[in-house]
């Protein structure tokens, strides 16, 4: 009898595996990996309660790519990011465009980028994108440093060409030279005039934990019930 119970319990993982294999519950999909951003042709402008890009959307280059992002060499970045400029750092971004990054492939004149044979519409087609869900802006300055660093944290969702989604996070960074935090905060509250700068950044896509479909959970329940009933019948 003991051996029969052990054999029944040992059968459960195999039954679970067979059920989940048919539902795709553990299937890996979506954009994963990482990349860095360089703004060779797009600048970011700081103004009252807003960070905007020029042009908008503007092209950015991708480098040090890994995973799914090795399929792209560029993206279009789109703003603005708006916030209450009177709060002081950190600023919580309260509105942003539906699509923050749209991935594709471009030929960058003067740069050593292969010709992918795809026109500029690849970075504005709404396919393979990153959408923001949360963002904060931090203005900081190290002691004895004449430059101010602005860090824009990014949290959101990557979506591949098939509509499959993964979680993503990263940041953009830019610097304003020969100034201080108070001056930058006064740009963002409208006291000082706007300022522009180039920027860089990096993001990663994380595999989303798969959730078993209801049919898989139902099937698992059927298997467990059958095993228990079998044990009771043999012990009676």
pTM metric for this prediction: 0.73
Residue 114: what are its φ and ψ, rounded to 5°? -60, 155
Instruction: Output 145 or 213, whichever has higher pLDDT.
Output: 145
Which of 5-19, 91-105, 176-190, 203-217 has the least mean pLDDT?
A: 5-19
Strands 43-47 and 50-54: antiparallel
Q: DSSP for 63-89?
A: EEEEEGGGG-SEEEE---EEE-TTS-S
- The tens digit of pLDDT for each residue in 103-138 reads 999 875 544 444 434 456 788 899 999 999 999 999
Does residue 14 have a pLDDT over 50?
A: no
DSSP 8-class letter at 31: -
Does residue 198 have a pLDDT over 80?
A: yes
pLDDT at 208: 58
Residue 189: what are its φ and ψ, rounded to 5°? -100, 0
pLDDT at 121: 76
Residue 21: what are its φ and ψ, rounded to 5°? -65, -30
pLDDT, the chain, mean = 79
Residue 138, strand partner residues: 151
Residue 137, strand partner residues: 91, 152
Does residue 229 have a pLDDT over 60?
A: no
pLDDT tier, 207 (very low <50, low <70, confident <90, very high otherwise): low
Instruction: Output 214 or 22, whichever has higher pLDDT.
Output: 214
pLDDT at 61: 92
Which of 46-55, 82-91, 113-122, 184-193 has the least mean pLDDT?
A: 113-122
pLDDT at 109: 53
Dihedral sign, Cα of residue 167, residue 31, residue 68, residue 207: positive
- The tens digit of pLDDT for each residue in 21-57 reads 333 333 457 899 999 998 878 999 999 999 999 999 9
- Give the Cα separation of 214 and 212 in Å (integer): 7
Mean pLDDT for the stretch of residues 193-201: 96
pLDDT tier, 2 (very low <50, low <70, confident <90, very high otherwise): very low
pLDDT at 107: 75
């Amino acid at each position: 009898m003991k051996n029969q119970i052990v054999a029944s319990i040992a059968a459960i993982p195999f039954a679970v595996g067979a059920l989940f294999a048919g539902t795709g519950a553990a299937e890996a999909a979506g954009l994963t990996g990482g990349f860095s951003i360089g703004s060779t042709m797009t600048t970011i402008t700081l103004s009252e309660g807003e960070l905007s890009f020029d042009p908008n959307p503007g092209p950015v280059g991708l480098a040090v790519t890994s995973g799914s992002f090795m399929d792209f060499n560029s993206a279009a970045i789109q703003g603005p990011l708006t916030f209450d400029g009177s709060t002081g750092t950190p600023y919580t971004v309260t509105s942003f465009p539906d699509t923050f990054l749209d991935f594709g492939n471009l030929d960058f004149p003067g740069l050593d980028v292969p010709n992918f044979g795809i026109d500029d519409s690849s970075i504005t087609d709404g396919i393979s994108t990153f959408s923001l869900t949360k963002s904060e802006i931090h203005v900081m300055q190290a002691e004895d440093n004449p430059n101010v660093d602005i860090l824009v944290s990014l949290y959101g969702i990557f979506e591949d060409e098939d509509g499959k989604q993964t979680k993503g996070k990263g940041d953009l960074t830019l610097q304003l030279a020969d100034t201080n935090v108070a001056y930058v905060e006064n740009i963002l509250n409208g006291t000082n005039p706007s300022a522009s700068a180039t920027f860089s950044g990096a993001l990663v896509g994380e595999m989303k934990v798969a959730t078993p479909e209801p049919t898989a959970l139902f099937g698992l329940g059927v298997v467990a019930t059958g095993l228990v009933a079998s044990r009771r019948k043999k012990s009676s």
